């Protein structure tokens, strides 16, 4: 087992590291969503939830990678500065960040979804740029040791998989949900992702205890 994985595993769901700062962070997330609910801006609310739930999907398979290899997850969070490590690559601070990141990015989208920028559809361009920015931040987190990578195909020397698999699906899904014409279709899509995540967590975390 990689040392970084052993350190992250030791912190996994250990409530003794609780810090009070996560309470105002939770209120901040609630405020962001309440503000959009007040405006009945369901497209932004559901785009934000789609982004957040896609991250949960990634975090679940990342935990399964560690279970089956018993070496390391694809990415890990071994830093003891977190208030709570929920899964081996997901702490409560990252969870709150992703909960509002989709809303922040969707707010930047041009009103015309068919508009092209430099010849590229704007939704695709924003997904490309947003993913690149996220990878840059991950590189900084890796540099300070807050986020660890142990595989040669997922590190500073091979950042394209982090960009393609780690983030592009989040942005594309959030923007797709945002642009759906029917609120019903938005709810079905987000509800489906939620159901898959919830069932996976119940099975792999609560029953089998693999993650």
For 47-69, what is each residue's pLDDT tens digit?
A: 999 999 999 999 999 999 999 99
The CA distance from 72 to 53, in Å, is 23
Q: Reduced to 3 states, what is the DSSP secondary structure of residue 72?
A: coil
The CA distance from 118 to 125, in Å, is 9
Q: What angle do CA 166, 65, 153 make, to 5 degrees?
A: 55
Nearest Cα residue to 205 out of 13, 54, 15: 13
pLDDT value, residue 155: 93
Of all residues in the chain, what percent are helix, strand and coil, respectively (each to 5)?
Answer: 65, 5, 30
H or E element in which residue 90 lies:
strand 90-91
For 162-195, what is each residue's pLDDT tens digit?
A: 999 999 999 999 999 999 999 999 999 999 999 9
- Ordered per-residue pLDDT tens for the chain, 211 residues: 999 999 999 999 999 999 999 999 999 999 999 999 999 999 999 999 999 999 999 999 999 999 999 999 999 999 888 999 999 999 999 999 999 999 999 999 999 999 999 999 999 999 999 999 999 999 999 999 999 999 999 999 889 999 999 999 999 999 999 999 999 999 999 999 999 999 999 999 999 999 9
The CA distance from 120 to 98, in Å, is 26
Q: Taking the CA atoms of the chain, what radius of gyration do you get in angstroms?
A: 18
Task: Kindly report whether the global pTM for this prediction surpasses the value 0.85.
Answer: yes
Q: 197: domain range?
A: 3-207
The total domain count for the chain is: 1
């Amino acid at each position: 087992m990689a040392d970084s994985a052993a350190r992250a595993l030791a912190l996994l769901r250990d409530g003794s590291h609780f810090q009070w700062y996560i309470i105002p962070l939770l209120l901040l997330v609630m405020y962001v969503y309440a503000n959009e609910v007040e405006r009945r801006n369901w497209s932004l609310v559901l785009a934000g939830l789609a982004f957040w739930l896609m991250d949960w999907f990634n975090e679940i398979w990342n935990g399964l990678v560690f279970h089956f290899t018993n070496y390391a997850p694809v990415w890990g969070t071994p830093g003891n500065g977190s208030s709570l490590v929920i899964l081996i690559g997901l702490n409560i601070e990252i969870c709150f960040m992703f909960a509002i990141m989709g809303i922040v990015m969707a707010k930047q989208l041009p009103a015309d979804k068919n508009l092209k920028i430099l010849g590229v559809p704007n939704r695709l361009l924003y997904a490309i740029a947003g993913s690149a920015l996220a990878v840059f931040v991950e590189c900084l987190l890796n540099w300070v040791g807050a986020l660890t990578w142990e595989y040669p195909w997922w590190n500073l020397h091979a950042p394209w998989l982090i960009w393609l698999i780690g983030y592009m699906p989040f942005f594309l899904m959030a923007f797709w949900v945002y642009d759906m014409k029917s609120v019903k279709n938005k709810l079905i899509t987000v509800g489906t992702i939620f159901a898959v995540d919830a069932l996976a967590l119940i099975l792999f975390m609560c029953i089998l205890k693999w993650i």
